[in-house]
Structure formats: structure tokens, C-alpha cells
Amino acid sequence: MVAIAKVYFSSSRAKREEESLVHKIKRIFREAELDSTISRGDVVAIKIHIGERYGHTYVRPKHVRAVVELVKELGASPFVTDTTGLDLTSSRGDALKCIEVATLNGLTNETVGAPIIIADGLKGLEGVKVKVNGLVLKEIYLPPVLAEADALISLAHVKGHPRTGLGGAIKNIAVGCVNKTTKALIHLKNPPYVKEDRCNGCGLCVKFCPKNAISIVNGKALIDHENCLLGCGCWSICPEGAISGFRERHRTQVEFGLAVADAAYGVVKYFTPSKVGFINLAYDITPHCD
Ligand code: SF4
Ligand code: SF4
């Protein structure tokens, strides 16, 4: 039998201090019994999205801090987390860039009251395999840091999304709590391939590939798909546009939605439903993914 989740709602309007979002987040946390997901001594991952480098739509540090304080009150140790983006060359492609972006957006250890740890390592290449046997994904890879946490609180910023319509709790864990390979599997229908007519054999992609999955054969790049991690972004560094890019390999909208559901299922399955809680903050809602 499918258990329907109870959803609690509160407006963000406030006339008095006790009606502020900080207080409402704390009230909703308790009313929704999210404290039951956390035991004394647990290490608790609070999953946020750090936002974009030049954006201004993300969770406010004080709202993250409210959840951090609640977790600490329960005798547990919280850390605030996000994962690197697809493509190492992108603005959130590795952990160093992520910390830089988080800092630019005011999200620091000091402002949120807990360490900010990028969960999938320096480059987001590692992961712990979780079998899902879903409609699109057969397995997902959980970032190593998340895999060692005892409980997960998803603190999502709600946004519009060109492919799912809306992004919130499910997307925050499905795309946000997996490593680069799984992000690629969710978004892309096949691995990168080389367009031989464009490749001049310069070897830049060979030097870039962190898995040594590209070699030059007969003057052209060749990708060993058995070894390919799928999501590092070799297509972005090729000056000739000879490696198939993101847009050329997108999954259909339906497949994408199913893959998101498969990945979310895998994350909840790993933690078990009793150790996962969700809070959505619906403000500064953009029509596109932020
Ligand atoms: S970077 Fe591009 S042009 Fe150079 S070898 Fe790789 S695929 Fe070919
Ligand atoms: S070939 Fe695969 S492993 Fe190598 S950079 Fe490209 S996506 Fe990553």
C-alpha cells in the first residue's frame, strides 16, 4: 500500500516576529514530526541548493540556520550540503567552485551555523551504488559524504523547471543527492560520442578526462564508454564542438520525469523513509531552474 505523505503549509506573510518564516519553519518542523527522523547522536545532512553564481533565488541563510538549530536541539550533529553540478567546467562543477558560489550567496559555516560540506567530493566523480530497478534508472550513485549520514532533511528552494514543471522536494534529492554520473543518467539518453568529421585529434579532451576514457586512435578521439563517467563535461572543452553536448543527448520530458522519480526513490530507499524529512521554501520562484 502506498502511504500518502502529510503535507503542512504555512504562508510566508508575517506581521509579528513570531509569524516570521524562521518561527514558522521551526513550527512546521515540529508539527510535521520531522524530529522523529532524528536520533540523539545522528549526523544529519541538511540538503539545500546553494544557488547560482549570479542568481539571487535560493534559500536564505537564516532559514537554513533555523533547521540547523532544531537538529542541534535534538542532540544531533547537522551539516549543510549540496552536490557539484554536471560538467566540471560549469560554474558549480567542482567543490571549490560550489563553496565559492555558496559564499557569494551568503551561505557560510558562520551564517548557517554548521559546516557546509559538498557531498560528492572534490569533483563529484565518486559514489555509492544503490539499486533502484526503476522505469529508467537501474541504479543510482549516492555521494560518499551523504552515504555516511544517518538522516537527511531536504530543505528545498521551490522553482519552476523547464522539464519537470516544478522543482522542489523530489528534485532536491533526486538530482541534488546523487553524483555526476547519476545526474548525467537522469538528464541524458546516451553517453558522449565523438563526431569524427569535426575532430582534429588535438588531444585536449584526452588530457581533460579524469577517467582516462578518451584516447586518440587514427588521429581521432575515441571514447571508451565502458570507462566513461558520463557527466564530466568533455564536450565543453572541445574547441571544435566534436563531442556531443548536453542538448543533443537530452532525454525526453517523460523519461526525464521518470528518471527523477527513480533517483528520488533510491535516495529515500537508502536512508529509509523514517530517516528522511522534507521542507520546501516557496519564495523567489523562477520560471526556470535555478
Ligand atoms: S578536444 Fe575535440 S578536437 Fe580535440 S581531440 Fe578531443 S574531440 Fe577531437
Ligand atoms: S569521456 Fe566520459 S569520463 Fe571522460 S570526460 Fe567525457 S564524460 Fe567524463
Give percent of the chain with pLDDT exceeding 70.
99
Q: Check residue 285 and give its pLDDT.
A: 83
Q: Which residues pair with 228 in a beta bridge?
A: none
Q: Residue 75 pLDDT more than 70?
A: yes
Q: What is the per-residue pLDDT for 242?
A: 96
Ligand 1 neighbour 202 (Cβ under 6 A): yes
Helix and strand numbers, DSSP H then E, in the chain: 10, 11
Cell numbers found for residue 142 = 549516492
Radius of gyration, alpha carbons of the chain: 20
Q: What pLDDT band is residue 261 in, cutting at 50, 70 and 90?
A: very high
Note the pLDDT of residue 56. Answer: 86
DSSP state of 243: B
Q: What is the residue with the minimal CA distance to atom 3 of ligand 1?
A: 199
Longest alpha-carbon distance in the chain: 72
Say if ligand 1 is within 6 A of residue 173 CB: no
- The predicted pLDDT at position 113 comes to 97
Tens-digit pLDDT profile for residues 107-122: 999 999 999 999 999 9
56: nearest Cα among 280, 284, 287: 284
User: Which residue segments constitute the domains of the chain, with CATH numbers given?
Assistant: 20-187+252-281 (3.40.50.11440), 204-249 (3.30.70.20)
Centre of ligand 1 from the C-alpha of residue 197, in Å = 11
- Per residue in 166-218, pLDDT (tens digit) is 888 999 999 999 999 999 999 998 899 999 999 999 999 999 999 999 999 99
Report pLDDT digits (tens) over 149-160: 999 999 999 888
User: Ligand 2 centre and the CA of 234: distance in Å?
Assistant: 6
227 C-alpha vs ligand 2 centroid, how far in Å?
A: 8
- pLDDT of 12 reads 84
How far, in Å, are 43, 147, 287 from residue 39 at the CA level? Answer: 9, 17, 38
Mutation pick for ligand 1 pocket among 205, 214, 215, 236 (CB with most ligand atoms within 8 Å): 205
What is the C-alpha to C-alpha distance for residues 46 and 68, in angstroms, rounded to an integer? Answer: 8
What span, in angstroms and rounded, lies between the C-alpha atoms of 135 and 82?
Answer: 26
- Terminal CA-to-CA distance of the chain, rounded, Å? 35
Contact status, residue 181 vs residue 136, Cβ threshold 8 Å: no
This complex has an ipTM of 0.99
Percent of the chain exceeding pLDDT 90 equals: 81
For the stretch 76-107, pLDDT in tens is 999 999 999 999 999 999 999 999 999 999 99
Give the span between the Cα atoms of 126 and 231, in whole angstroms.
Answer: 12
Which residue puts its alpha carbon closest to atom 8 of ligand 2? Answer: 232
Q: How far apart are CA 43 and CA 197, in angstroms?
A: 52
